[in-house]
Amino acid sequence: MVCRAIRQGIIDLAIGSTINWSPQVRQLNLFSLPFLMPDYKAIDALTRGGVGRQVFQILDKAGVVPLAWGENGFRELSNSKGAIATPADMKGKKFRVVGSPIFIDTFTALGANPTQMSFAGSGNEALKQIEAQGVTVTHLTPAQIKAFQAASKPVYDKWAGQIGRDLVKAAEASIAKR
């Protein structure tokens, strides 16, 4: 919607999330591919390198002149039922997720029951503050992360085709070089 408003000249400037703009510019789903980016260095490799420039060119062709990248962190899971350390721990549990088809596909592949909802106006608490309140925070091992990657691989492959395999391969290569 914001992308359309910019193209129509209704607004001149906006700060937007790739999730919100991805319905109009499918390549922005790159940043929602499950487990593509393992850390902040990987994000920087994408946004500060050739992939970031390529995505800026795609946005420019869509009628939006991008000025800069911003980061808002990684998505975290929370629930009131127990720790999530494996995809099996998500089986049948309900999770509220951003209203994006790639998130619905990812959570479904992990065995969860995702429910779309708007995240407008929601806040973001630091993990240390959450832990200080007595909430258990599970930090996954590399082996546990690999289990989530394997379970979400069909989603990754499906969406890589929709995003553009060449762009995804360029992203994977940039991350591998970091």
Instruction: List pLDDT tens digits, range 69-88.
Output: 998 888 888 888 889 999 99
Cα distance between residue 28 and residue 22, in whole Å: 5
Contact 132, 113 (CB under 8 A): no
What radius of gyration, in Å, describes the C-alpha atoms of the chain? 17
pLDDT at 58 over 90: yes
State pTM to two decimals: 0.84
Tokens representing 167?
Answer: 């762009």
pLDDT grade for 122, boundaries at 50, 70 and 90: very low
Query: Please, which residues have CB within 8 angstroms of residue 143's CB and are 6 or more apart in sequence?
Result: none
The structure tokens listed for 77 are 């899971």
Confidence at residue 120, expressed as pLDDT on a 0 to 100 scale = 54
Q: Among all chains, which residue has been given the structure tokens 């795609």?
A: 58
pLDDT tens per residue across span 85-102: 999 999 999 999 988 999
